[in-house]
Structure 1
Amino acid sequence: MEITLTSQNFETEVLQSEKPVLVDFWATWCGPCMRQAPIVEEIAAEGYTVGKVDVDQEPALAQQFRIMSIPTLLVFKNGKEANRVVGLTSKNDLLALLND
C-alpha cells in the first residue's frame, strides 16, 4: 500500500502504524528519486506500507526529519525511526531494513 504523506496524516499513517512503514522522501526534479520510485512501488505492491513525502510539497516534514539529500528512505517501527538510507537503494537492501 502506497500513501502520499503530509504533515496532517504523518502521525496517523506512520507513527501510529502497527506495521513497519517505509517512508520515501523525494522530489519530481530528482533523477535518482525517479529511479528509486519503481523499486518503492514494487515493495508497496508486495504488501508493505510505503509512504511518499514530496519534499517540495512538505518542507516541514523534510526539516523535521533532517532530510539533507534525496532520495532518503526511512523505516519506522513502533512509531520510531529504525533505519535510514540516503541515495538510490536496492529492493533487497530495503526489504532487509523492513524485515530486520
Structure 2
Amino acid sequence: MSVTNEAELNAEINGSDIVLVDFYAQWCGPCKAMAPTLDKIDGEVAKVVKIDIEEAQDLATKYAVRSVPTFVVFKNGEATDQRAGGMTEGQLRSWLGTA
C-alpha cells in the first residue's frame, strides 16, 4: 500500500495494530533490496505502508527522514520507533517484536 498524504497515512495507521511505514525513493538501491522482505512480512508481522519521499515531502519532513530507507513503526496509531538503513529479514522481525 502506497500513500502520498497525511490523510491517507492516518487512515492506514489507525486501521491496524502494528504498521511499518517505509519511507523510500525510486532511485534508492537499499530500498529496492528491502522490497522483497517487506512484501514477505506484509500482513504477517505488520501491515506495510510505503511512502515515496519525493511524492510526499511533507510526510518525510514531519517524520524527520534524513536518509532512505527509513522505517517508522506505529502501534495503535502512535509512532513508537524509527530506524534508518537496510536490514535483513531476521533483523526486521526482531526489531518489530521489540519496537
Give the aligned partner of residue 25 of structure 1. 23
| Structure 2: gaps spanning 5 or more residues | none
User: Does residue 1:59 correspond to 2:57, yes or no?
Assistant: yes
Q: Distance in 2 between matches of 1:55 and 1:13?
A: 17
Give, as a single letter, the amino acid of the residue that structure 2 aligns with 1:37.
Answer: A
Aligned-CA RMSD value: 1.5
Q: Is the 8 A contact 1:83 1:97 kept in 2?
A: no
Using the aligned pairs only, state the percent identity.
Answer: 34
Q: Is the 8 A contact 2:17 2:76 kept in 1?
A: yes
Q: Distance in 1 between matches of 2:12 and 2:87?
A: 23
| Structure 1: gaps spanning 5 or more residues | none
Q: Name whichever of 25-34 and 84-93 sits farther off.
A: 84-93
Give the aligned partner of residue 92 of structure 1. 90
Q: Is the 8 A contact 2:45 2:93 kept in 1?
A: no
What secondary structure does 1:69 align onto? coil
Deviations 1:39-94 (A, max 9, x none): 11111153631000000111111011010000001111122111211101121222
- TM-score, normalization by structure 1: 0.87
Q: Distance in 2 between matches of 1:39 and 1:28?
A: 17
User: Does residue 1:10 correspond to 2:3, yes or no?
Assistant: no
Count of aligned residue pairs for this structure pair: 97
Give the aligned partner of residue 48 of structure 1. 46
Q: Name whichever of 39-48 and 70-79 sits farther off.
A: 39-48
Cα separation, partners in 2 of 1:88 and 1:66, compared to 1, 3 Å: same
Q: Which runs of 4+ in 1 moved over 3 A?
A: none
Q: Is the 8 A contact 1:71 1:87 kept in 2?
A: yes
Q: Distance in 1 between matches of 2:36 and 2:44?
A: 12
